[in-house]
Amino acid sequence: MSHTPPIFINQGKNTVGYFTTSNPEKLIIFVHGFNGSATDTWDEFPALIKENNEYANSDVVFYGYESLKGQVNNNALRFYNFLKIIAEGNSKRLGYSRNNLAPNFTYSKILIVAHSLGSIVVRRALLNAKAENKTWLLNTRMILFAPAHRGARIQNLISESLPTLGRIFAGLGFITIPVLDDLRPNSQTILNLIQETEQLIQQNQGDFTISHTVVWANNEIVVHNERFCQDPIAVLFDNKSHTKVCKPIRPNFLTPFEIVTEAL
Amino acid sequence: MSRQKFNLDIISKQYRRKGAAAKAFKSLSVLISSNDTRNLENILRDHKDEPIWENYLVDERDNIDFLIDYYSILEIGIIANYFPYNLPSKLKDEVNNILGNDYVSKYYSKYYPLILPQLLLKHISFSNVHSSIDASTPIQSNLFEKFLVLNQTIKSDGDVDQFLWFLDGGITEGYSINDLLNVLSNRETIRYKLGRSNTHPLNSSLFGFIKYIQFIKDYADLLRQTSEFKLLQSSFWHYQSYWFDHMKVQLGDIIKVALNNIRKTMNDTTQTELVNDNNSYINNSEDFDKWKSSTEQFGGIEEDIKFLLNPKMGDPLTQLLNQN
């Protein structure tokens, strides 16, 4: 018995937590992409985590947000507000209280794993944290799968990521999806993200902006596989598409899980 | 504490010991213990006999539905071996007291029939009901948690609520399911009515329609994954039986009409119209052709709906209930 059953957290949208039944030391947060969902995007990650001893002291949260409505920076702000609650020792407010935690408890490490659009949400949230001098940034790492932080090909994004009806309604102009504008390579959202990151790196204050690992899909047709500022050279997954690159599936494709485990 | 008891404790904290279900438990306990049959009968009446128009009654019955929902989840969790087969005596007493009450019983057995709470009460009363359940396996735990997470996605979604409200015959700001079906068949109508607001009831129901069809696909996938465990599969199906059984004609027909109307609109719309439309993502003939071919996937949607609306899926649990 390493983790709780799913705890439905009243933050974001359909956010689910699996809290350790041992002493919590680390926190891992998964953030999905465009039209993803809190847990589905990550396929067998929840089951693998619960079965693996290396996660025995980690709380794990699958954060969800309404990616089809609202601008990306609004979602980033909500995610930042959630991060503040969980990273600053207020996890009781998330619907699961543990009597054995010290009143001043904080995690020794926070690992944020994001897919596609989630990378922009996470980067912007961490820049907000920097603006408010949050000390937990020093213990925070990012792993990014098929990140959209250098923009996306909108037509391909729609055809790959939206369900049939969403694709049809978007084609007919029935529905407005503001985030699509934010995802264009030269959008103000992305240009600002790059500029603010570069500034912090020049001032030697941008370590937190450098991802621990970046994964690209070899069959990528949605996002632009371009290096972001000082990120490390990406790892390339063969025979994987934009949506499959972050989904571990037993027994033959465990690499996404191994990458996250290695970063713990 | 055993794993199963721990699971029960955590799930009960979320589904029963707070919010609407906790309120319903409190109010029903008071009414039952004081033998207030007049109020019990009034609150738990069949709306076909006398419509429910009082706001406080609508809220009260909503809360009761949440409590009954918890008992349904309890029964499914027992079938999945996710919860202990022998429930704690305090919980057994609660189930007997609430579900065993004549007025509550009529509510979930006669007026709005649900198998799962009936089976839970039977299980509490006759402990050999589930003797056929196999020992717990991790696979069933994973399936049960997937079930919880999947249902949560539509429980807390305003767009899906709006779509299902329309599907159930509801009206919002003068709009109904007919308005949704009409706009799907006429592109100019929807553009005139919607403007750019994502909060307009019709716009919200459009998003709700997209999300509900996605839910249908995911639910069908979950049931297919559960095919090895017939009782569990049947219990998942019964959990959504309001839509898959009671409302199956409306659900099937409305989605069929909606898909036909969408096909018509797509046939009536030219490439030039969409390329010149700033709201559309279509920029050229390649985009347009790809977009047009989306209707080929309607077959998959129709197949999932046919799969879910098959009443045979409910048989294993119904047979279990009817066994002596």
Per-residue pLDDT of chain B (324 residues; tens, 9 = 90+): 788 999 999 999 999 999 999 999 999 999 999 999 999 999 999 988 888 888 888 999 999 999 999 999 999 999 999 999 889 999 999 999 999 999 999 999 999 999 999 999 998 887 655 655 554 445 588 899 999 999 999 988 899 999 999 988 889 999 999 888 888 877 776 665 555 566 788 888 888 988 999 999 999 999 999 999 999 999 999 999 988 888 888 888 888 888 888 888 888 889 999 999 888 889 899 889 988 888 888 888 889 999 999 999 999 999 999 986
Looking at chain A, which residue has its C-alpha nearest residue B294?
A164
Is A154 in Cβ contact with B209 (below 8 Å)?
no
Question: ipTM greater than 0.85, yes or no?
Answer: yes
pLDDT recorded at residue B132: 54
**B14 contacts in A (CB within 8 Å)?**
7-8, 95
Nearest C-alpha neighbor of A117 from the set A165, A69, A84: A69
**B156 contacts in A (CB within 8 Å)?**
13-14
Residues 6+ apart with CB under 8 A from B123: B75, B78, B129, B130
Residues 6+ apart with CB under 8 A from B66: B15, B19, B20, B21, B24
Is A155 in Cβ contact with B149 (below 8 Å)?
no
Q: Are A212 and A142 in contact (CB under 8 A)?
A: yes
Cβ burial, residue B106 (10 Å; 0-12/13-18/19+):
middle
Where do we find the tokens 């007493």? B93
Q: Are A222 and A161 in contact (CB under 8 A)?
A: yes
**B9 contacts in A (CB within 8 Å)?**
none
Instruction: Return residues 59-118 of B near A (CB < 8 Å).
Output: 82
pLDDT recorded at residue A192: 97
Task: Write B276-280 long-range contacts (CB < 8 A, 24+).
Answer: B277/A173, B278/A173, B279/A173, B279/A176, B279/B191, B280/A170, B280/A171, B280/A172, B280/A173
Where do we find the tokens 């408010």? A132
* Predicted TM-score (pTM) of this structure: 0.93
Q: Are B273 and A179 in contact (CB under 8 A)?
A: no
Residue pairs between chains A and B whose CB atoms are closer than 8 Å: 108
Distance CA B224, CA B207 (A): 26
Is B279 in Cβ contact with A173 (below 8 Å)?
yes
Distance CA B173, CA B34 (A): 41
Is B6 in Cβ contact with A172 (below 8 Å)?
no
Please check whether residue B194 touches A, CB under 8 A. yes
**A159 contacts in B (CB within 8 Å)?**
290
SS3 of A215, please?
strand
SS3 of A114, please?
strand
